[in-house]
């Protein structure tokens, strides 16, 4: 790895920079970063990780091994137009843009190039992301392995087909928000049953960590683990009865399906907008 050029310097970009540098995947001095106009953010990244902040696209993109799209999806057309003159047949383009298909990016680039789409989640900030990636047919196994190793620095990484990325977005991309929503409910209930906020949060967080650990480290399916906790006539059964009455499991299923559908809708809308721009 000689040089990474990162277009966009938001929280996800910073999480990846942090993971790559701290896990010795690459040195900070080998990373070039830019954004639309936030010089203060670029300076902070330089001071903290040793990256090269710049608004000189030629300096940043010349001879870059990997170019990363990490801006807002709506800005993809402008970003690809800026990098087009520097794309080579062996340049690996990596997109962290939700809903932007490889077909749309290839249309904007007006050439066939190695391309990988990546869908991490916000837990990358603490090195615990669940990340999925998909590559086009031009990307080599070596390039795919490189990007998988890169995102392994911020959590778990799996390879999927591009058509599965909308489902990944609905499940794990948006997933942390569903868990935070659950924690909010548990905190509110703790207040109502007489537990202090700080104490309640410690208990809730450790309960979630422990439950996730049980699923991760045993071969038992979640249904069996649930049944083993649920004694007939006991407290757990009483609580689960309420969840079933309110169809909480069904609500979560519909939640994830709707988030997946929204990802598809946003992707289609963006593709249509890009197509209209192309024919103006």
Give the model's pLDDT for residue 269. Answer: 87
pTM of the model: 0.90
Which one of 133, 165, 197 terminates a domain?
165
CATH classification of the domain holding 221: 1.10.3730.10
Query: Can you read off the two tokens belonging to residue 70?
Result: 């990490």
In a domain, 271, yes or no: no
79 and 180 housed in the same domain: no
Tokens 């650990």 belong to which residue?
Answer: 213
- Same domain? For 24 and 128 the reply is yes
Q: What is the pLDDT along the chain (280 residues), one digit of tens a residue?
A: 689 999 999 999 999 999 999 999 999 999 999 999 999 999 999 999 999 999 999 999 998 999 999 999 889 999 999 999 999 888 999 999 988 999 999 989 988 899 999 999 999 999 999 999 999 999 999 999 999 999 999 999 999 999 999 999 999 999 999 999 999 999 999 999 999 889 999 999 999 999 999 999 999 999 999 999 999 999 999 999 999 999 999 999 999 999 999 999 988 888 888 777 776 6
185 and 140 in one domain? no
Closest by Cα among 19, 24, 253 to 156: 19
Output the pLDDT for position 99.
85
For residue 56, being part of any structural domain is answered with yes
End position of a domain, from candidates 121, 143, 165: 165
Task: Specify the number of domains making up the chain.
Answer: 2
Residues 151 and 49 in one domain: yes
- Can you give the pLDDT at residue 2? 84
Strand order in the sheet with 31-34: 52-53, 31-34, 4-7, 66-69, 92-95, 115-119, 129-135, 155-159
Q: Which domain holds residue 215?
A: 174-246
84 and 203 share one domain: no
Do 9 and 141 share a domain, yes or no? yes
Residues 20 and 113 in one domain: yes
**Sequence-distant (≥ 6) Cβ neighbours of residue 139 within 8 angstroms:** 92, 114, 115, 116
Residue with tokens 């696209």: 57
| pLDDT reported for residue 1 | 62
Q: Which of 34, 42, 41 is nearest to 79 (CA)?
A: 34
122 φ/ψ angles, rounded to the nearest 5 degrees: -65, -15
Closest alpha carbon to 108 in 73, 58, 142: 73
Answer whether residue 255 is part of any domain: no
The 10s digit of each residue's pLDDT in 24-75 is 999 999 999 999 999 999 999 999 999 999 999 999 999 899 999 999 988 9
Query: What three-state secondary structure class fits 169?
Result: helix
pLDDT on residue 38: 94
Is 265 a domain residue?
no
In this structure, the answer to whether residues 69 and 191 fall within a common structural domain is no
Q: Extract the tokens encoding 77.
A: 């057309």
Last residue of a domain, one of 165, 184, 212: 165
């Amino acid at each position: 790895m000689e040089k990474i050029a990162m277009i966009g310097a938001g929280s996800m970009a910073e999480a990846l920079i942090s993971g790559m540098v701290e896990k010795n995947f690459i040195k900070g001095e080998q990373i070039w970063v830019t954004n639309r106009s936030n010089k203060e953010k670029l300076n902070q990244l330089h001071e903290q990780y040793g990256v090269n902040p710049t608004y000189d696209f030629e300096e940043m993109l010349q001879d870059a091994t990997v170019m990363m799209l990490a801006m807002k999806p709506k800005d993809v057309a402008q970003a690809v137009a800026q990098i087009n003159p520097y794309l080579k047949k062996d340049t690996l383009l990596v997109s962290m843009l939700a809903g932007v298909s490889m077909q749309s990016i290839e249309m904007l680039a007006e050439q066939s190039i190695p391309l990988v789409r990546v869908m991490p989640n916000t837990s990358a900030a603490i090195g615990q992301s669940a990340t999925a990636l998909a590559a086009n047919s031009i990307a080599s196994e070596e390039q795919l392995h490189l990007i998988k190793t890169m995102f392994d620095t911020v959590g778990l990484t799996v390879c999927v087909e591009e058509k599965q990325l909308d489902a990944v977005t609905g499940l794990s991309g948006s997933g942390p928000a569903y868990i935070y929503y659950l924690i909010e409910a548990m905190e509110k209930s703790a207040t109502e049953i007489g537990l202090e906020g700080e104490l309640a949060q410690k208990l809730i967080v450790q309960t979630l960590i422990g439950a996730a650990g049980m699923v991760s480290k045993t071969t038992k399916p979640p249904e069996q683990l649930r049944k083993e906790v649920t004694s007939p006539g006991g407290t757990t059964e009483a609580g689960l009865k309420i969840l079933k009455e309110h169809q909480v499991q069904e609500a979560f299923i519909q939640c994830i399906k709707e988030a997946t559908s929204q990802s598809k809708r946003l992707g289609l809308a963006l593709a249509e907008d890009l197509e209209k721009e192309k024919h103006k």
